Structure 1
């Protein structure tokens, strides 16, 4: 009798675990949209993932997927690109070794949407970073009922860029330009600088220096889907 009574309990426990595993294991999708007046060559890169990149005209979208366990994922936009029929060429900003489909991170300066899917406590971790500079306004938001997170970086960074960071159609980051411990924080022990404050004042949601976690790193439950918008 005891074994018969326990059967429904075991069955429902198994069903709960299976359902929970299915929810936790669901891949995240990122709808990448270009709202800029000019074309943007969108790119996506994460360790161990296939090459990925796409030209987006105004209003066009592209879907990127990321499996649970994906870490150090990035989505960014490249500007003023020229590629030949084999997918080789170059971009003024965000270039990834001259390839249309990126297998590496983009060259600074570029505004970054960064993510980890299925991290600690079944949470996704998302952020916008301007540590590597700024080339396009960006919005990074969730696209699911269980999370309504919206983070943006739309300040006039290019127009007001400090002279030592200024580039054509972009504003570079202090670390890529100056390469000092104060700005790159390779030791993991650093504080805001006048240059990082310039970015933070114009994009309060974004990472402005490597230890900017408290005001720049956001979470959603694993299973959430997202949108990344250039020129929101």
Structure 2
């Protein structure tokens, strides 16, 4: 193979590889006045993210890379206490009593960010769900590859208005002593088919919003409030970054999730904030811009053949 043929063969391969490997970064930000312990859970058939659980101090952010086609959930735990080996327990959102969730999901009630990342040019599908209950305010702002996308989430503190029969009362470390630290779903609280959309209520024709899910929906109109709440709660985008903010400031300027915004309400752009870096298997990988990849390949090519 001559030099010219090699060059024109390798470039298309690199371009195809870059296109197929494009995936979103999840920028997780803790705007709460206390530590949180985010957890991640991958869907069936998709690999785990570089971390499945970690501590995030107030004011800190972290970037987590995904892979094309990744599907799963991200949430935050509160009131956690772990020993040096990572064994312990959280007051809300616990995932099997470990710092790293390792395939365990969030124990309800917990506010969830759910997403399926598109492959290639396919769009991402994402939502914020309080179907399994609620523990923290959560807003997600995608930064679109081809333009702006819809922010979604629930910036209102549902714990403040949680009906007494749904309340979870907790203690210290992320919850006010004796205060409400989470709000159960009606399904978890009562276990009835009509609330759980199960049995004879397991289809959209028979399962309708309950008085409890309607309270959630009124406060958080863009979040999933019950199992068949698809129409106003699922969004699509092709994004290079999803900024996931726990405890956004609901009083920030233009601080509603009904608007398409580029920066979460009541917080600085993550580029100006404090970022922490994971170590070992959780190290954040930074993807080089495509132009730099081509330039590097070009110089390698020159060094090899000239």
Q: Report the TM range for the smaller structure's normalisation.
A: 0.7 to 0.9
Q: Verify the 8 A CA contact 2:68 2:120 in the aligned structure 1.
A: no
Instruction: Please tell me whether the aligned partners of residues 112 and 129 of structure 1 are also in contact (alpha carbons under 8 angstroms).
Output: yes
RMSD between aligned alpha carbons?
A: 2.3
Equivalent of residue 38 in structure 1, options 28, 31, 34: 34
Q: 1:173 aligns with which of 181, 185, 188?
A: 185
Give the Cα–Cα distance (whole angstroms) in 2 for the partners of residues 65 and 181 of structure 1.
38
* TM-score, normalisation: structure 2: 0.66
Equivalent position of 2:105 in the other structure: 105
Q: CA deviation at 1:64?
A: 2.0
Cα offset, 1:144, TM superposition:
3.8
With over 3 angstroms needed to count, the CA separation of the structure-2 counterparts of 1:191 and 1:120, relative to structure 1, is farther
Contact kept? 2:24, 2:242, Cα under 8 Å: yes
Higher strand share: 1
Residue 209 of structure 2 corresponds to which residue in structure 1?
A: 192
For the residues of structure 1 that align with 2:213 and 2:121, how far apart are their CA atoms?
Answer: 31
User: Structure 2: which 5+ runs fail to align?
Assistant: 1-7, 170-180, 249-306
8 Å contact from structure 1 (residues 35, 58) kept in 2: yes
What is the deviation of 1:148?
3.1
Normalising by the residue count of structure 1, what TM-score does the alignment of the two structures yield?
0.86
How many corresponding residue pairs?
A: 218
**Cα distance change on mapping 1:119 and 1:214 into 2, 3 Å:** farther
1:212 aligns with 2:229: yes
**How far did residue 214 of structure 1 move?**
0.6
Moved more, 180-189 or 165-174: 180-189
Aligned to 1:4: none
Q: Helix, strand or coil for the counterpart of 1:224?
A: strand
Question: Who is 2:84 aligned against?
Answer: 85
